[in-house]
């Protein structure tokens, strides 16, 4: 990747525009077009002024100035690129796309065109194409603006790659204000990405350095002022904001920060706050042209001050001037959010089925429909509208079927930020409340890439590969669950059963899968009853009961398995008589059934296992020969294994149960590649069971599934093998151990 110095940048930045300018002159002579009404010096001065607007965050004036100059010098790519940044400040992604297209139309590889197009994709939250475009722009001509955007888009995709690029820049490039700014922002992100709060100090120091080196850049003051405000150090905040306002009195971004500080802090007595804010607003009007961003910023502040009348007045002017603009669309969205906020307030004051809440649900529904009928700037916030509509309709009683199905379809088409809702709970609700079950299954299938991408993006937040693996399994299980349930509701019970059982095999800790499987088993019992097969009826109902019972402990919150189990009891017994006693003995009934099944799972032809000599974490060697005469439990696991991680707290209890038992040896064997990973995991979770480190033994012993546990009798024969997680490990493992102990004790 190119990291050329600023010297080469200056050659590119000054030489190319002059070439373009000269070409324009030659073209004018050749085709008879009128010569430009500016000199080369004036054009360079215009570009410098656009850069000034960028460093001062005065996008209100910057856009108007750039608009005028692009009309005068439409063929200058750098000018258009700098103008595009002013449009980014207005959040006008469509117009940024237009500037990029104008640059690239006659010069597809122009770096300024690639930069503008990359920024447009970034504003649209399309990070992957943005990365590719800005990388190409940087490698073609390493401008400071390109480096800044490249760092920004990389940090959204892969923080460590962004950091590597930053460190690969040469000393001169590291000194550009655009790069130093991004260094401070990356350091701020490092607090969370690297889970180290000391990076906040590094970020603060870099911003302080930025302010000292570039005193004419407004961000050095506003970022430090924001930190002072968050810490309520208003004695620091005041001079920083005064310096920022002196530099950029016409920036709505700076002014908004000033207004919030005056209004929401204890800097001023309450009665003085509004006059101070309005005085700052008046100064802003004098310093800045009247623009939609400025009006919107003031309207937002008036709404914070609970002056709905002044806010509405400013918003009406925005809509009247251009009803299809970005800021008009933001006004429409605020109206929708206002209706939804009112619903939240009513839910806090009244029951969910109260007349007040039910009436407001209809208000929210109508507000969404009104929003969707507006001349929207783009589809960006349609996802927000549809998710609001989905929740409102889902809370109605009865749920309006066709409207609800349309809401889920709208979610699938527009909402990408919440894939667990869009492609999980929403299609599931569509299955339960509409006749479009198979269509809902198709929505889930189409959303699989988005769901998996979200899991992959969150990988850094998991401490171990095993925790990440379990999250992945949970998502995959949920996908199969919804698709399987769709088959069931569509009348394809057998297809549904097989798909749901696959979901359960992937992740056993899902209450929804357990519930849905129980429902399927009940349906199959009904079909068996219609055929007159009484034995099959009993078997299917027993399976349904087992599934509901297992679903009790699957997760917290409202659990459908409980109600289903009670309904099943009433159906099988003809009444609810005795149900309390039944529920009271449920745990014991479940224990008896599980214990019987476990003891019946004994290996038919027990054999010995591959001997081993393996080191503990402390280096002490353990020889399998020393286990002779003892009952041994050999547990194979790894921190990378999701199911292993899930059952580790129970395994710790099991280990403690037999730790002082001279007749039983409990040994875990981890095949993690690094002992550091194992020690870190054990320490973080306060686990102290013994761990042997795999040296290739796992492969020699033929273990190919995790977790796997062998239960070995005193003679060295493997009598039980458990593959996968146990529902209640401590209890179920101890049943196997005690069964082997009893056999030895009772033998002659």
Ramachandran sector of residue 557 (left: φ over 0; alpha: ψ -120 to 50; beta: rest):
left
pLDDT level of residue 449 (50, 70, 90 thresholds): very high
Taking residues 127-135, what's their average pLDDT?
A: 96
Using CA atoms, how far residue 748 sits from 142, 250, 664, in Å, is 86, 97, 21
Chain-wide mean pLDDT for the chain? 90
Q: Which pLDDT value is given to residue 604?
A: 86
CA atoms within 13 A on the CB side of 375: 7
**pTM recorded for the entire structure:** 0.75
Q: Which pLDDT value is given to residue 557?
A: 53
Torsion of CA 130, 136, 140, 143, to 10 degrees: 30
Taking residues 299-327, what's their average pLDDT?
A: 96
pLDDT level of residue 83 (50, 70, 90 thresholds): very high
Helices 586-600 and 729-746, interaxial angle, to 10°? 60
Taking residues 252-256, what's their average pLDDT?
A: 97
Q: Which pLDDT value is given to residue 549?
A: 87
Whether residue 305 is predicted with pLDDT greater than 90 in this model: the reply is yes
Query: Which of the residue ranges 314-328, 404-418, 546-560 would you say has the lowest mean pLDDT?
Result: 546-560
Residues 633 and 709: beta-carbon distance below 8 Å: yes
Domain edges within the chain: 603-746
Q: Does the domain formed by 603-746 have CATH 3.40.30.10?
A: yes
Q: Which pLDDT value is given to residue 597?
A: 84
Taking residues 111-131, what's their average pLDDT?
A: 96
Q: Say how far apart CA 648 and CA 582 lie, in whole Å.
A: 32
Taking residues 574-602, what's their average pLDDT?
A: 86
Q: Which residue has the tokens 């989905």?
A: 390
pLDDT level of residue 553 (50, 70, 90 thresholds): low
Helices 219-230 and 199-213, interaxial angle, to 10°? 140
Residues 281 and 255: beta-carbon distance below 8 Å: yes
Q: Which pLDDT value is given to residue 33?
A: 59
Residues 304 and 260: beta-carbon distance below 8 Å: yes
**Tens digits of residue pLDDT in 613-661:** 999 998 999 999 999 999 999 999 999 888 899 899 999 999 999 999 9
HEC profile of 290-302: CCHHHHHHHHHHH
Q: Say how far apart CA 156 and CA 122 lie, in whole Å.
A: 10
Query: Which of the residue ranges 334-338, 450-454, 611-615 would you say has the lowest mean pLDDT?
Result: 450-454
Q: Which pLDDT value is given to residue 13?
A: 34
Q: Which pLDDT value is given to residue 745?
A: 55
How many contiguous H segments (helices) and E segments (strands) does the chain have?
36, 8
**Tens digits of residue pLDDT in 661-717:** 999 999 999 998 889 999 999 999 999 999 999 999 999 999 988 899 999 999 999
pLDDT level of residue 15 (50, 70, 90 thresholds): very low
Whether residue 228 is predicted with pLDDT greater than 70 in this model: the reply is yes
The residue that leads in pLDDT, 12 or 31, is: 31
Cis peptide before 19 (omega within 30 of 0): no
Residues 631 and 713: beta-carbon distance below 8 Å: yes
**Tens digits of residue pLDDT in 168-207:** 999 999 999 999 999 999 999 998 888 788 999 999 999 9
Whether residue 342 is predicted with pLDDT greater than 60 in this model: the reply is yes
pLDDT level of residue 69 (50, 70, 90 thresholds): very high
């Amino acid at each position: 990747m190119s990291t050329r110095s600023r010297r080469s940048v200056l050659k590119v930045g000054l030489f190319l525009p002059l070439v373009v300018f000269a070409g324009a002159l030659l073209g004018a002579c050749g085709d008879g077009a009128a010569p430009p009404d500016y000199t080369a010096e004036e054009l360079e001065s215009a570009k410098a002024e656009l850069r000034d607007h960028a460093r001062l965050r005065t996008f209100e004036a910057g856009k108007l100035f750039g608009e005028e100059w692009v009309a005068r010098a439409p063929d200058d790519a750098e000018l258009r690129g700098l103008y595009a940044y002013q449009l980014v400040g207005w959040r006008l992604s469509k117009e940024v796309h237009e500037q990029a297209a104008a640059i690239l139309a006659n010069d597809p590889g122009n770096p300024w065109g690639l930069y503008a197009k990359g920024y447009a994709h970034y504003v649209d939250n399309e990070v992957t194409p943005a990365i590719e475009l800005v990388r190409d722009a940087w490698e073609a001509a390493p401008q400071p603006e390109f480096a800044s955007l490249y760092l920004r888009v990389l940090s959204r995709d892969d923080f460590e790659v962004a950091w590597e690029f930053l460190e690969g820049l040469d000393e001169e490039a590291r000194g550009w204000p655009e790069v130093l700014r991004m260094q401070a922002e990356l350091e701020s992100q490092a607090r969370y990405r690297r889970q180290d709060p000391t990076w906040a100090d590094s970020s603060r120091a870099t911003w302080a350095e930025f302010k000292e080196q570039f005193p004419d850049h407004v961000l050095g003051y506003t970022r430090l002022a924001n930190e002072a405000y968050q810490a309520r150090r208003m004695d620091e905040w005041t001079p920083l904001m005064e310096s920022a306002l002196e530099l950029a009195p016409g920036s709505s971004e700076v002014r908004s920060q000033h207004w919030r500080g005056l209004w929401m802090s204890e800097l001023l007595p309450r009665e003085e706050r509004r006059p101070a804010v309005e005085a700052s607003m008046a100064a802003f009007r004098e310093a800045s042209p009247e623009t939609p961003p400025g009006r919107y910023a003031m309207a937002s502040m008036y709404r914070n001050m609970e002056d709905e009348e002044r806010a509405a007045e400013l918003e009406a002017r925005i809509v009247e001037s251009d009803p299809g603009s970005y800021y008009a669309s933001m006004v429409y969205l605020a109206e929708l959010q206002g209706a939804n906020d009112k619903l939240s307030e009513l839910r806090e004051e009244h029951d969910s089925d109260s007349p007040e809440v039910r009436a407001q649900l209809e208000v929210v529904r109508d507000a969404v429909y009104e929003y969707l009928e507006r001349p929207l700037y783009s589809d960006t916030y349609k996802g927000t509208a549809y998710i609001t509509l989905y929740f409102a309709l889902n809370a109605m009683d009865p749920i309006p079927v066709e409207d609800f199905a349309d809401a889920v379809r709208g979610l699938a088409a527009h909402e990408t930020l919440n894939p667990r809702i869009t492609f999980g709970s929403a299609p599931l609700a569509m299955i339960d409340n509409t006749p479009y079950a198979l269509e809902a299954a198709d929505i889930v299938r189409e959303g699989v890439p988005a769901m998996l991408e979200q899991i992959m993006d969150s990988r850094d937040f998991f401490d171990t590969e095993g925790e990440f693996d379990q999250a992945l399994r949970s998502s995959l299980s949920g996908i199969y669950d919804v698709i399987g349930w769709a088959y069931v509701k569509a009348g394809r019970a057998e297809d549904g059963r097989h798909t749901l059982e696959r979901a359960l095999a992937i992740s056993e800790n899902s209450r929804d899968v357990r519930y849905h499987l129980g429902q399927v088993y009940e349906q199959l019992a009904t079909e068996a009853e219609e055929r007159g097969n009484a034995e099959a009826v009993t078997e299917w109902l027993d399976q349904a009961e087992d599934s509901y019972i297992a679903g009790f402990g699957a997760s917290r919150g409202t659990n459908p398995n409980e109600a289903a189990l009670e309904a099943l009891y009433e159906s099988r017994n003809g009444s609810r008589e005795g149900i309390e006693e039944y529920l009271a003995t449920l745990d014991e009934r479940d224990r008896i059934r599980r214990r019987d099944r476990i003891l019946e799972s004994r290996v038919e032809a027990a054999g010995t296992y591959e001997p081993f000599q393996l080191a503990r974490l402390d280096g002490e060697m353990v020889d399998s020969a020393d286990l002779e005469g003892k009952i041994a439990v050999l547990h194979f696991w790894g921190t990378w294994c999701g199911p292993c991680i899930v059952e580790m707290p129970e395994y710790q209890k099991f280990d403690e149960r037999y730790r002082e038992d001279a007749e039983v040896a409990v040994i875990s064997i981890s095949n993690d590649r690094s002992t550091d990973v194992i020690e870190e995991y054990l320490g973080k979770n306060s686990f102290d069971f013994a761990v042997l480190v795999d040296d290739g033994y796992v492969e020699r012993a033929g273990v190919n599934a995790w977790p796997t546990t062998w239960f070995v009798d005193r003679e060295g024969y493997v009598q039980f093998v458990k593959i996968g997680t146990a529902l209640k490990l401590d209890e179920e493992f101890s049943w196997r151990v005690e069964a082997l102990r009893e056999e030895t004790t009772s033998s002659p």
